[in-house]
Chains A and B, each alone.
Chain A
């Protein structure tokens, strides 16, 4: 112990010979990946979303209780039919370059998202916008059909409000100019992204002076860096690593919206047989998958993870493992002696990928089903997945607070990812339409419950669990509120003691 203490003291003074920390409140965040572009409306990768999310703002925000709160829009209202949304914007908000934010910026930003040439990630979620009227600080959106769900779709970094001048001059993606709590300073590719506090932020001046995202390629090294105090905050995705965080660190654990599922492609044999899919569903214990693949950390879920419409995980043909039923389904489907199939997995894609595949393999074996794990790298996985060139795959997909934005693109017949999902039906289409346009909460709940039940009764995919979101910080970080969406926006309230 004495040795450790004296080495710590010596090493502390060694390190202090570097840049002085003094009175400045600098938060260093460790991430395993670097950002990959500067255009918030095209940000999809893990690090880009989190970093740009601190620099840009959207019209509404999602709060800790997954409620919708005001963002750049102070208040709003729908008309009676739900076909018109009026947003009243905040006054006095400035962009990083000092220019004022107003309704024209909103119109330009939304139009940019809707423009196919932008390849904006959130475009599909706001396609019901027919026209946009903007004047002063009022924005009116005319919708093609009643679509109350669009309000939730206005949140997030992909719905970032940009300066209309930047859009006109083609600066977006080359320079960074947002309304967020922090201002962009620099990006050293492969190494770090530096931000500094926005002193005129509408939510109040942040207590932190600077925020730096640093690339530390392995999560184990990130924990080491936290333990050594060289970084103060991090986002961890591996439950095993999060468990390794010592008692000298703070672990913020929140249930997430993302879900891990065994995706089945109902267009490819043997998954075209309902019996086969149901057999798989009945042979798998989700609790066991959570225990082994995720170190016991995770919630067993149904298709919909949006809290207000969450599926009941017990509402499926086999809420618990039933090997007898599974074997029966197989026999009825024409496979009395079991069957064999390949499942595509990208072990580096997410922390619990390979563990999930292994757990499934070992459980399915008990029902006479041989699952061969076909491990590929990320890019190969994506290109095969998009082409629908797989029978089954283990995937971790993001969730949203609204089921409309979460699943429309997969399970409606016109959805752009329907080829991948491999399943659609007239009833699904009808229910999605109802959910999108209905203004009544109870009607929406009914529609999404029906969707969830249909997906489970047909074992379209095997929904397994929802991993937790982990943020690990040193003890001197105070005031942070973790959000299930993964957003780090609440760093605007954080202080370093």
Chain B
């Protein structure tokens, strides 16, 4: 049995052999740097500062991505928007995974009534339209970014339950598990040694995918007016506000859309790379 270090090095080795993985990682890294710039305030202008004399100007040396209808610098807003989108999406997925994975594993392992209960409840959330849930949470708790993150996180939890539960069901039937239980090994040890490693790969891949979906969901919610509220920029909100402007101020629509596309593509490629690196069956193809 290879030890953890060797396994990790092996995974990294395989990951680096995957072109998509590398491209994806680069794209995501660029976006993270962009977001970090915003956190430390390294933006050309304050994202909410209005430059009244420079309303709706195209890209120029002063304002790299042009200005919007309030005279705000689109470049600075895009950086801040990326930060917000990533913050909401990381928080949402962390919440979903933290809730979903343990429940999924336990449901698969314990089985019987507990499994039925967890699956039923997760089905209820799964069939529930995200928008209604988001509106409810946002209307009763507030509009801050963590409320949006909570709404998205709750909606994504069932996916993690499912993804975690699947491999557990498969592993549970395997002979060496049955023998371990007969031999009296504690459930905790079985979970740790045999179940968890099998669950790890799909979860990690799902995290990357869910991060990309969360960004799209957040922008959809903002588009409908249910996500981030003005004047805080979020990429989805910027696209929504750009709708009436698109015909004569293309830069207000194109740049935030481009950034959404880049980060979603990047995260998906990272997901692919991770899948190739972590799933032994895949490595052959």
B59 to chain A, nearest CB (A): 20
- From A220, A292, A354, A373, give the contact of B50 (CB < 8 A): A292
B242 to chain A, nearest CB (A): 10
Residues of B within 8 A of A362 (CB): 48-50, 231
Residues of A within 8 A of B243 (CB): 218, 220
Given contacts A219-B244, A238-B244, contact A347 B229 (CB under 8 A): yes
Does B248 make an interface contact (CB < 8 A)?
Answer: yes
Residues from 370 to 390 in A contacting B, C-beta threshold 8 Å = 373-377, 380
Q: Is the CB of B225 within 8 A of A347?
A: yes
Does B230 make an interface contact (CB < 8 A)?
Answer: yes
Q: Is the CB of A380 within 8 A of B52?
A: no
Given contacts A240-B244, A359-B70, contact A380 B229 (CB under 8 A): no
- From B69, B71, B138, B139, give the contact of A240 (CB < 8 A): B69
- From B49, B69, B139, B231, give the contact of A377 (CB < 8 A): B139
**Cα–Cα, bound, A361→B48 (Å):** 10
Does A358 make an interface contact (CB < 8 A)?
Answer: yes
Residues of B within 8 A of A374 (CB): 142-143
Given contacts A220-B244, A244-B244, A375-B229, contact A292 B52 (CB under 8 A): yes
**Cα–Cα, bound, A70→B278 (Å):** 82
A350 to chain B, nearest CB (A): 13
Residues of B within 8 A of A322 (CB): none
Q: Is the CB of A288 within 8 A of B52?
A: yes
Main secondary structure of the interface of A (DSSP, over half): helix
Residues of B within 8 A of A376 (CB): 139, 143
Residues of A within 8 A of B191 (CB): none
Residues of A within 8 A of B229 (CB): 347, 354, 373, 375
Residues of A within 8 A of B50 (CB): 292, 358-359, 362
Residues of A within 8 A of B139 (CB): 376-377, 380
Does A348 make an interface contact (CB < 8 A)?
Answer: yes
Residues from 313 to 365 in A contacting B, C-beta threshold 8 Å = 347-348, 354-355, 357-359, 361-362
- Per-position 1/0 for A233-252, Cβ under 8 A of B: 00000101100100000000
**CB-nearest residue of chain B to A295:** B69
Q: Is the CB of A355 within 8 A of B70?
A: yes
**Cα–Cα, bound, A288→B52 (Å):** 8
**Cα–Cα, bound, A244→B252 (Å):** 15
**B52, B142, B230, B246 — most chain A CB neighbours (10 Å):** B230
Interface residues of A (CB under 8 A from B): 218-220, 238, 240-241, 244, 288, 291-292, 295, 347-348, 354-355, 357-359, 361-362, 373-377, 380
16 contacts across the A-B interface (CB closer than 8 A): A240-B244, A291-B55, A292-B52, A347-B225, A355-B69, A355-B70, A357-B230, A358-B48, A373-B229, A374-B142, A374-B143, A375-B229, A376-B139, A377-B138, A377-B139, A377-B225
Q: Top 7 A-B pairs ranked by shortest CB distance? A: A375-B229, A358-B231, A240-B244, A241-B244, A354-B230, A375-B143, A292-B70
